[in-house]
């Protein structure tokens, strides 16, 4: 199987291209996705290939983008919507929560919404607050939605492919910090990864680090530091899907290591880390040697970029929390 | 003390604060001439006139935005959502403007607004009128989130919310409006935000709940007392910021925790409490923290399904028995 080295933007573009070639019902809509190919170029060249009926430039109207897509999905199309930044999605949250997420239940299965809502999220790019936040907990809360966050080019491509094929609405977050951060080998043939499945990306027996999205790289680097400086063998779990959460993989790992630290760049209170910690409590209480630690952004609005490094978890903070957990 | 309904307690709080402070005004759909969809604003138009009791079009984003602007310029708006599900239409205003303005303006503008209305399980009001909407607000930095259980709390907490210099989400409940209780008539009576209350002392297990689930937990606690299980009932009252100290204090005494909430639960109150109890009181725990949550589904309309959606007394009792039997000490 041939492979190419792609960054995350190109990998996402490849998933869109191949799914649009495979299935004529798949289409794209959003602000600047067509002529401009998206603010981050994820939809680059797709309008030229598929025409303006399948790659639709919308007005600046997030609620209209999602509302239109819900209507399209009810009639059998498979829209992939782009919201330019996740901070703008509060404008369309009622369409997502009240309609996209509920049609299957409300219509007792007569209608469903096969649609993907893609949004760039997260910090690390020195942008202002609406453009840097992590709002995954809003969507993970909503019954009827799936919430996916890939951690690199290959998982991004494979999970976007699965999201487009999923019969129900999927909210798909893409870390801006990862868009151009690194290239990975990506198979040329279509590849899909199951939604709802976490991956153990590094095996270890002393401690479990749980992360996703841009924080996975931070967790892996912290694991390297702990290996080199403390001779600690860290297991690293990449969640990939926030909801439904793969509790089995998390609990199995913590049952083995007895210690866990969860890392995310969303604010701490009521965040995904709380859900992970509570799930460990329920599933592996008697295996725990230490309390589960959360390393997260502070409980404030996303800070101005001069203070960004003090706000988003870094390797030093993750390693420090890991050492406290190991010393407990 | 006077005995009054939850609805009357809220009305009294609004009336007293409007008399005390001319900057306080009420705005929302049907709050004036119709006196509120649930009559919480009854008599206010007559007493304070149309400049201070403002009927709006059906446009949540619009009137919430107006309220935020009024608050930035020094007024004290109390905005009513006819039901709190509709606040999603104003979510961008609430999250991106109300919650952040103080921070983004470097402290130049604070936003003393209260956004209030009913939310949570009711009686066959279905998925767009009875979801537990606090879940969309309690992880937003810059917001406070209040859910009052009793008429006394409704009055004391609403008055504190109106006097608070920052935005407060204040979610009531359709099913509690007619509930009666003792309420202090003193216009200076307030209950501080961010403080939990121990509703009943006990020694074996801490049960944390609010509003409808607290009333259900009280019934369960009465039944379990006959089996010799002594339940301590803690009502957080303010969900953000949560009163960690009171909850941890109770856990250090009972060593067992059950959290009951009507919402779907993912990264909810139970998750947060479980996480911080583990962080602060790991060695005190004799059993895993149990969560009893609503089903992970939209609120159904059908009465039989609606009953199954929220935690039943049987489920609450089973969770309490489980943690009491899981003797890790």
- Number of residues that this document lists for chain A: 328
On whether any CB of chain B is under 8 Å from the CB of A294, the answer is yes
CB contact under 8 A, A93 and B104: no
Locate the chain A residue with the closest alpha carbon to B267.
Answer: A275
Q: Which of A135, A156, A187 is the last residue of a domain?
A: A187
Whether A180 and A206 map to the same domain: the answer is: no
Interhelix angle A272-284/A247-257, rounded to 10 degrees, is 60
Closest CB to B267 among A271, A286, A292: A271
CA distance B120 to B146: 13
Reading the block at residue A249, the tokens are 């993989």
Residue A161 in any domain: the answer is yes
**Angle of the A272-284 helix axis to the B269-281 helix axis, nearest 10:** 70
At residue B271, the pLDDT reads 96
A137 in the same domain as A70: yes
Name chain A contacts of B275, Cβ cutoff 8 Å.
273-274, 277-278, 281, 292, 294
Instruction: Match 């007005």 to its residue by tokens.
Output: A59
**Residue ranges per domain, chain B?**
2-183, 197-325
Q: What is the DSSP letter of A124?
A: S
CATH architecture for the domain at B197-325: 3-Layer(aba) Sandwich (3.40)
All residues at 6 or more sequence positions from B83 whose CB lies less than 8 Å from its CB, including other chains: B37, B117, B118, B119, B125, B129, B130, B174
Given the residues A94, A112, A130, A131, the one annotated as active site? A131
User: What pLDDT, on the 0 to 100 scale, is given for residue A154?
Assistant: 98
User: Do A171 and A243 share a domain, yes or no?
Assistant: no
**Chain B: closest CA distance from residue A326 (Å):** 14
How many CA atoms lie less than 13 Å away from A163 in the CB half-sphere? 31
Chain B contact set for A255 (CB, 8 A): none
B282 → closest Cβ in A98, A102, A291: A291
Total domains in the fold of chain A: 2
Q: Is residue A193 part of a domain?
A: no
On whether both A48 and A156 belong to a single domain, the answer is: yes
Min Cα–Cα distance to chain A from B308, Å: 15
Owning domain of residue A279: 199-327
Burial A70-96 (b: 16+ CB within 10 A, else e): bebbbeebbbbbbbbbbbbbbbbbbbb
Test B92 with A91 for CB contact under 8 angstroms: yes
Q: Is A131 known to be catalytic? A: yes
Same domain, residue pair A67 and A182:
yes
Q: Which residues of chain B have pLDDT under 50?
A: 328-329
A275/B287 Cβ within 8 A: no
* Distance spanning both ends of chain A, measured CA to CA: 48
* Whether residue B126 has a cis bond before it, omega within 30° of 0: no
Q: What is the pLDDT of residue B148?
A: 98
Contact criterion met (CB < 8 Å) for A143 and B264: yes
- Which residues of chain B neighbour A271 with C-beta distances below 8 Å? 139, 267
Cβ atoms of B94 and B142 within 8 Å: the answer is: no
Q: Are A278 and B100 an interchain contact pair (Cβ–Cβ within 8 Å)?
A: no
What CATH number does the domain containing A286 carry? 3.40.50.920
Kindly state whether residues A154 and A222 are assigned to the same domain: no
Does A192 reside within a domain? no
Instruction: State the CATH architecture for B2-183.
Output: 3-Layer(aba) Sandwich (3.40)
Which of these three, A167, A187, A207, is where a domain ends?
A187
A297 & A183 share domain: no
Catalytic residues of B: 60, 129
Q: Are residues A247 and A142 in the same domain?
A: no
Same domain, A122 and A216: no
Subunit contact B135:A141, Cβ cutoff 8 A = yes
Q: Are residues A172 and A132 in the same domain?
A: yes
Domain boundary (A187, A210, A244) is at: A187
CA–CA gap between residue B160 and residue B165 (Å, rounded): 10
Q: What is the CATH number of the domain that holds A178?
A: 3.40.50.970
Tens-level pLDDT at each residue, chain A (328 residues): 688 999 999 999 999 999 999 999 999 999 999 999 999 999 999 999 999 999 999 999 999 999 999 999 999 999 999 999 999 999 999 999 999 999 998 898 999 999 999 999 998 877 777 788 899 999 999 999 999 999 999 999 999 999 999 999 999 999 999 999 999 999 999 999 999 999 999 999 999 999 999 999 999 999 999 999 999 999 999 999 999 999 999 999 999 999 999 999 999 999 999 999 999 999 999 999 999 999 999 998 888 788 888 899 999 999 999 999 999 9
> Could you check whether B2-183 and B197-325 share the same CATH topology?
yes
Same domain, A309 and A214: yes
Per-residue CA distances from A58 to A130, B38, B200 (Å): 20, 40, 56
- Which of B81, B85, B92, B105 is the mutation pick for testing A, counting most A CBs within 10 A? B92
User: Are residue A217 and residue A168 in the same domain, yes or no?
Assistant: no
Please determine, for the modelled complex, whether the ipTM score is greater than 0.85.
yes
Contacting A residues, span 73-132, partner chain B, CB-CB under 8 Å: 87-88, 90-91, 93-94, 97-98, 101-102, 105-106, 129-130
Q: Confirm whether A142 is domain-assigned.
A: yes
Helix (H) or strand (E) holding B11: helix B6-20
């Amino acid at each position: 199987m041939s492979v190419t080295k792609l960054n995350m933007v190109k990998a996402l573009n490849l998933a869109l291209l191949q799914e649009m070639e495979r299935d004529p019902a798949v289409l794209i809509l959003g602000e600047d996705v067509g002529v401009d190919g998206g603010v981050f170029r994820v939809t680059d060249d797709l309008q030229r290939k598929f025409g303006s009926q399948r790659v639709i430039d919308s007005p600046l109207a997030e609620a209209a983008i999602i509302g239109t897509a819900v209507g399209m999905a009810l009639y059998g199309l498979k829209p992939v919507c782009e919201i330019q930044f996740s901070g703008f999605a509060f404008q369309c949250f009622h369409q997502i929560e009240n309609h996209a997420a509920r049609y299957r239940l409300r219509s007792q299965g007569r209608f469903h919404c096969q649609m993907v809502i893609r949004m760039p999220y997260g910090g690390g790019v020195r942008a202002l607050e609406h453009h840097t936040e992590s709002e995954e907990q809003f969507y993970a809360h909503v019954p009827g939605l799936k919430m996916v966050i890939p951690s690199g080019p290959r998982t991004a491509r494979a999970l976007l492919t699965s999201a487009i094929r999923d019969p129900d609405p999927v909210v798909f977050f893409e870390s801006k910090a990862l868009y151009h951060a690194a290239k990975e080998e990506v198979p040329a043939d279509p590849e899909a990864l199951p939604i709802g499945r976490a991956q153990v990306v590094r095996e270890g027996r002393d401690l479990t680090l749980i992360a996703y999205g841009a924080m996975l790289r931070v967790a892996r680097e912290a694991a390297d530091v702990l290996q080199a400086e403390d001779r600690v063998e860290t297991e690293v779990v990449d969640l990939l899907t926030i909801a439904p959460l793969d509790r089995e993989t998390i609990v199995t790992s913590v049952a083995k290591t007895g210690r866990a630290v969860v890392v995310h760049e969303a604010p701490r209170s009521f965040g995904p880390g709380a859900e992970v910690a509570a799930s460990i409590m329920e599933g592996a209480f008697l295996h725990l040697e230490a309390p589960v630690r959360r390393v997260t952004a502070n409980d404030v609005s996303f800070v101005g970029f001069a203070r960004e490094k003090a706000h988003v978890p870094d390797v030093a903070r993750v390693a420090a929390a890991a050492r406290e957990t190991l010393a407990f | 003390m006077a005995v009054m309904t939850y609805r009357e307690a809220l009305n009294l709080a609004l009336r007293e604060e409007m008399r005390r402070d001319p900057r306080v005004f009420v705005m929302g759909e049907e709050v004036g001439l119709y006196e509120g969809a649930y009559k919480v604003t009854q008599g206010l138009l007559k007493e304070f006139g149309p400049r201070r009791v403002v009927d709006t079009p059906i446009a949540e984003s619009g009137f919430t935005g107006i309220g935020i602007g009024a608050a930035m310029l020094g007024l004290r708006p109390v905005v009513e959502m006819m039901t709190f599900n509709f606040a999603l239409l104003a979510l961008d205003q609430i999250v991106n403007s109300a919650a952040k303005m103080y921070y983004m303006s470097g402290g130049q503008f604070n936003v003393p607004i209260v956004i209030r209305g009913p939310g949570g399980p009711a009686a066959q009001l279905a998925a767009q009128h009875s979801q537990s909407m606090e879940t969309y607000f309690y992880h937003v930095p810059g917001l406070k989130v209040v859910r009052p259980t009793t008429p006394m709390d409704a009055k004391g907490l609403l008055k504190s919310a109106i006097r608070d210099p920052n935005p407060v989400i204040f979610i009531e409940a359709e099913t509690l409006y007619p509930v009666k209780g003792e309420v202090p008539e003193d216009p200076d009576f307030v209950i501080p935000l961010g403080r939990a209350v121990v509703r009943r002392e006990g020694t074996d297990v801490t049960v944390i709940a609010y509003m409808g689930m607290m009333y259900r937990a009280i019934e369960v606690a009465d039944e379990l007392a006959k089996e010799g299980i002594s339940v301590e009932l803690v009502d957080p009252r303010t969900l953000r910021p949560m009163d960690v100290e009171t909850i941890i204090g109770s856990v250090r005494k009972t060593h067992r925790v059950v959290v009951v909430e009507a919402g779907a639960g993912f990264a909810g109150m139970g998750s947060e409490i479980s996480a911080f109890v583990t962080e602060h009181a790991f060695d005190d725990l004799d059993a895993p923290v149990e969560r009893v949550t609503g089903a992970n589904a939209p609120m159904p309309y059908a009465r039989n399904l609606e009953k199954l959606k929220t935690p039943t007394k049987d489920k609450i009792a089973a969770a309490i028995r489980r943690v009491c039997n899981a003797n890790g000490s």
